[in-house]
Chain A
Amino acid sequence: MALPPAPIESARAPAPPRGADWLALPLGLVALVALWAVVARRIDVPYLLPTPADVFASLVTNADRIAWHARYTLAEVLAGFGIGFALAATGGYAVAHSRLLERLILPPVVASQAVPIVAVAPLLVYWFGAGMAVKVAAAALIVFFPMLVSTVVGLRQIDPAFRELMLILSASRWQTALHLEIPAALPVLLGGLRVGVTLSVIGAVVGEFLGSDRGLGSLVAVANGSFNDDLMFAALVTLVALAMGLYGLAALAERVLLANR
């Protein structure tokens, strides 16, 4: 299966937000919370949708407990993303340089994406046990495909003329990778990074739902089971904040690394 060619014009770092752009995110969050409050008041059934005020109160009351669980989820996310990215970058580099490998590896990898992670998660528990390893494995699995595609597309879009130049200069494979391929693929790779790092949160939480006594996913399940909806939503809000924070860090890394292009 052949991947589509990527555009070859050089990419610039995204322009930093300026002026009123900085207000967009906080205003958007305020609008979302306001909508939530309106709907919760309209429903007026706390066990269906608690109010933002009750959720915030629970967030404050249970701050230590939520922070304790959040540390575990963050550790699972970072470890899972790191492993998934490393495997995807390595595999993607090999696939980008070999049409044969592309035809051998990509079809089963694409087919595997049709299998929901929740379906294979019990197998993961069987193979890795029920500790942190299964949560890391779930996060790595969910990150692998988007990062693999980003790596292959990023490398394939390099102008062949530049590759010829590196050959003329008798550059080694390592020099070509360091001075041409990695810098040229960086814009696409960093775009995939933003997607991958937020997907890794989903993977870690799915692993926690399967069986765990720690992590925000476990806290959501426990709170749900005891109808402590304020705490459940507080844990969900924390998860959202975690994912948004990681996305923001990835966007910042993109801006910094592409600043001088």
Chain B
Amino acid sequence: MRRPSVPTLLCGAAAATLLGCSVPSPAPNGTPAPTREGWQTEAVATLGATPAPVPLSIGLPFRPDVQFAPWYVAAARGYFAEGGYSVSFEYGDESAFVRRVAARDGLAAMVASGEQVILARAKEIPVTYVATWYQRFPVVVVSTTGIGTPADLVGRTVGLPAPSGASFLGWQALLGVNDIDPSSVTTEVIGFTQTECLQLGRCDAAVGYAANEPVQLRAQGLDVSVIEIADSFNLVSNGLIVAQGVIDDSPDTVAALVRGFLRGLADTLADPDAAFEIALDVVPEAADPAVRDVQRQVLAASLPYWDAPELGAIDAAAWARSAEFLVAQGLIDEAPSTDELIEPRFVDAAGVSR
């Protein structure tokens, strides 16, 4: 039985204490999705009809964005439905989604950066990475003052979005691999105001996303230089994450989600224009003539980070290196084994090629 959510239990416990009577907990969210086989057997046995797709939710970080085009394409073209599932998307904080996915509280799966799985497993939170989306770490250092190599950063001021997360880890990796003394670079946490920081000259460079800040700044006519952190250390990046319990109890569900996503990814890489149009149905704000061209460039800038001869392939060696890096950073005491972190069999079985 799935555990009730924390807010539900807190309210129930408080009411029981104050009123002296027990309050039945509401039905927990995220009841286990029946397998396709179970549905099919029952439906055929009783009515002989095709069973309806089982609804489930996938968590995507932050807010709707054209960069989620492969997911939108998979949903719009029925690739998840062919596997027996009607997928909807929730948007929000990655850390909160990890907890909900692990607790199987209303979220069947989520998309997040790979280090979230390493950090979670180090705290015995049972989530597993089942398909790679970004084959190349997309965090970059962007500058409008001609900073083109890691060595150019010495003595300069760099804006960081946060003192944690994928961007911060990428920054630390860049310094470490290139033997740059952290004290030789002045850093300032600026939130998600990298573009403004560079425009106003408050920083010489800023850590951002390859498909975001460089595209925005070039659209304003600025001369932009980019340092690709992946050239120094290709940290594990965004992909599909599920609870270990779902892999154990409902492997067909995982297989359907992986296959559906990889088909959506393949279609996006094959025809980005069509994928962009589908994304505009989900993100109508991106169709505004004032931003449409830039948003199309954002999608175009993302494609090289997704493309690979084997879509979705999970590099176990990269995961081991990334886990050791987190140990070296003092974020975790011990690197979880790659067997806990990743499950590549669903990608291998999906049979989706570029």
User: Residues of A at under 8 Å CB distance from B?
Assistant: 35, 38-39, 42-43, 45-49, 122, 125-126, 129-131, 210-213, 218, 221-222, 224-229
Contact = CB atoms under 8 A, between A and B. Distances in A.
Nearest to B193: A125
Contacts of B122: 227
Given A35-B13, A130-B188, A228 B164 contact: no
Interface in B170-222: 188-193, 196-197, 202
B119 A122 contact: no
Contact of B191 (A38, A42, A125, A227): A125
B9 A122 contact: no
B280 interface: no
Contact of A39 (B9, B123, B191, B202): B9
Contacts of B191: 122, 125, 130, 210-211
Contact of B13 (A42, A126, A222): A42
A227 B190 contact: no
B190 A125 contact: yes
A224 B94 CA distance: 10
A45 B103 CA distance: 8
A225 B3 CA distance: 23
B186 to A, nearest CB: 12
Given A47-B125, A130-B193, A221 B98 contact: no
B189 A211 contact: yes
A211 B102 contact: no
Interface of B: 3-4, 6, 9-10, 13-14, 17, 95, 98-99, 102-103, 119-120, 122-125, 159-165, 188-193, 196-197, 202, 331
Contacts of A210: 191
A226 to B, nearest CB: 5
B119 A212 contact: no
Most A Cβ at <10 Å: residue of B95, B119, B160: B95
A190 B136 CA distance: 58
Contacts of B164: 221-222, 225-226
A131 to B, nearest CB: 7
A49 B8 CA distance: 13
B13 A39 contact: yes
A68 B20 CA distance: 43
Contact of A225 (B95, B103, B124): B95
A62 to B, nearest CB: 14
A105 B264 CA distance: 54
B119 A226 contact: yes
A213 B189 contact: yes
27 contacts: A35-B14, A39-B10, A43-B3, A45-B3, A45-B103, A47-B99, A47-B102, A47-B120, A47-B124, A122-B192, A126-B193, A129-B190, A129-B202, A130-B188, A130-B190, A130-B191, A211-B161, A213-B160, A218-B163, A225-B95, A225-B119, A225-B162, A225-B164, A225-B165, A226-B164, A226-B331, A227-B120
A45 B125 CA distance: 9
Given A35-B14, A47-B123, A227 B98 contact: yes
A35 B14 CA distance: 8
A43 B6 contact: yes
A51 to B, nearest CB: 13
B99 A35 contact: no
Nearest to B96: A224
Nearest to A209: B191
A130 B119 CA distance: 28
Given A48-B6, A211-B191, A224-B95, A38 B123 contact: no
A157 B99 CA distance: 52
Contact of B103 (A48, A129, A222): A48
Contact of A122 (B123, B162, B193, B202): B193
A126 B196 contact: yes
Contacts of A222: 162-164
Contact of A43 (B9, B162, B192): B9
A203 to B, nearest CB: 16
Given A122-B193, A131-B188, A213 B14 contact: no
